[in-house]
């Protein structure tokens, strides 16, 4: 296959309200749409949404990589990817396009994510398959997703929880770590009281705590019956994470610690998490994330696919990955349903990259119909 044209444009998407994290409050989401056109005139579209706090390069570094590709990629002959069959996908061969993407992903994972998505979309479209079915033939046509409660005050958080349950969500996620331990406890306790025990409740600390504080807090939180606490400690404190996991008070999910395939292997080798949170934008694409998922599932470690608060093209690539991981979850023989994915984040944005992006219905997000990503080409400059 030949890359006939390569184009990109920047974007900025505002949030409905400032989005709090333990390392700062986000007012908007900035990134780039990337398009690759093949010799038949079809466009594959990908999205690069860098955010250093999540583990990617900076926006400037992404742009410099895109400018480099704009000079070198048009006219290139690139072999199509082979479907990643089997329970363990092999690493891409050095010198292949996949190998080059892996090398680019070490320094600019968000940019690599965009280029990989665009090319994979064309590859799956040529095969007449959705990207999910191309990655795993037993992929379902949708996945369960959690609702993210973005409010800071107790009253607003409880009201958001009530609305989410009324809308059909069975899993809720609350950000913690930006306020005091007492405020975090009060919010979690109030939400648990409001939604009852049949709703899964998970918390995300973004690495805000030290191990002694986290140990004491999670012991207090035991009766809340949280599904898990996401990244309670800094990314490199795997021994501390392993200690919290061994305590057994709240299941431990690793997020920022899983910032590469090597990072995921370290987490698994240290037995530092009960679950892995996979952000394809941070990992350089859906194929590296799928390789990590298969390695984790083979060890009995469950996987949650989440967005990086990006626009609809990035979220939809992650949705296809989540469906493929769901197929791999069943193949691995793990009991029960896969955990709900963190992909219902489009509602946090006041604007998106398409007028009618896929939206969750009753706590489930369906894949768009059609081959590739299943999304329309957004128009200029990809027309």
Q: Which residues are catalytic?
A: 175, 279
Secondary structure of residue 377 in the 3-state scheme: coil
- Residue 56: other Cβ atoms inside 10 A: 28
Q: Give the list of residues 6+ apart from residue 216 with CB closer than 8 angstroms, or none.
A: none
- Tokens 């990035």 identify what position? 314
Calculated CA dihedral for residues 366, 369, 373, 375, nearest 10 degrees:
-100
Q: How far is Cα 250 from Cα 243, in angstroms, rounded to an integer?
A: 12
- Residue 200: other Cβ atoms inside 10 A: 19
Which DSSP letter does residue 209 get? B
For 15, 134, 135, 369, 374, the CA distances from 128, given in Å and listed in that order, are: 35, 9, 13, 12, 11
Contact status, residue 309 vs residue 348, Cβ threshold 8 Å: yes
- Tokens 């698994």 identify what position? 268
Angle at 291 between CA 288 and CA 296, to 5 degrees: 125
Secondary structure of residue 160 in the 3-state scheme: helix
For 27, 109, 172, 300, the CA distances from 145, given in Å and listed in that order, are: 24, 24, 9, 21
Q: How far is Cα 368 from Cα 318, in angstroms, rounded to an integer?
A: 12
Contact status, residue 194 vs residue 164, Cβ threshold 8 Å: no
What's the sign of the alpha-carbon dihedral 98, 99, 104, 110? positive
Q: How far is Cα 295 from Cα 276, in angstroms, rounded to an integer?
A: 11
């Amino acid at each position: 296959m030949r890359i006939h044209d390569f184009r990109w444009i920047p974007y900025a998407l505002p949030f409905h309200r400032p989005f709090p994290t333990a390392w700062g409050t986000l007012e908007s989401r900035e990134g780039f749409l990337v398009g690759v056109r093949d010799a038949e005139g079809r466009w594959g579209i990908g999205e690069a949404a860098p955010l250093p706090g999540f583990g990617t390069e900076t926006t400037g570094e992404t742009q410099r990589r895109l400018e480099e590709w704009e000079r070198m990629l048009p006219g290139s002959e690139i072999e199509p990817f082979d479907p990643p069959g089997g329970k363990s996908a092999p690493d891409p061969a050095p010198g292949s396009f996949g190998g080059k993407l892996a090398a680019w992903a070490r320094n600019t994972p968000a940019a690599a994510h965009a280029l990989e998505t665009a090319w994979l979309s064309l590859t799956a479209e040529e095969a007449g398959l959705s990207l999910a079915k191309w990655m795993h033939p037993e992929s379902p046509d949708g996945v369960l997703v959690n609702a993210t409660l973005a409010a800071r005050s107790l009253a607003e958080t409880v009201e958001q929880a009530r609305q989410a349950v009324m809308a059909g969500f069975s899993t809720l996620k609350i950000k913690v770590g930006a306020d005091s331990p007492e405020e975090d406890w009060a919010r979690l306790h109030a939400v648990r009281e409001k939604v009852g025990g049949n709703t899964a409740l998970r918390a995300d600390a973004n690495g805000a705590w030290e191990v002694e504080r986290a140990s004491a807090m999670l012991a207090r939180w035991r009766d809340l019956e949280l599904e898990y606490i996401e990244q309670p400690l800094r990314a490199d404190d795997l021994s501390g994470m392993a200690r919290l996991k061994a305590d057994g008070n709240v299941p431990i999910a690793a997020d920022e610690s899983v910032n590469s395939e090597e990072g995921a292997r370290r987490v698994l080798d240290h037995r530092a998490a009960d679950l892995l949170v996979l952000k394809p934008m941070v990992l350089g694409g859906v194929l590296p994330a799928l390789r990590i998922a298969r390695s984790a599932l083979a060890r009995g470690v469950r996987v949650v696919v989440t967005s990086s608060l990006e626009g609809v093209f990035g979220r939809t690539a992650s949705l296809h990955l989540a469906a493929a991981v769901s197929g791999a979850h069943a193949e691995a023989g793990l009991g029960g349903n896969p955990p709900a994915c963190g992909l219902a984040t489009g509602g946090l944005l006041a604007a998106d990259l398409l007028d009618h992006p896929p939206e969750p219905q009753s706590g489930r997000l369906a894949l768009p119909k059609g081959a590739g990503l299943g999304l329309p080409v957004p128009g200029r400059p990809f027309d």
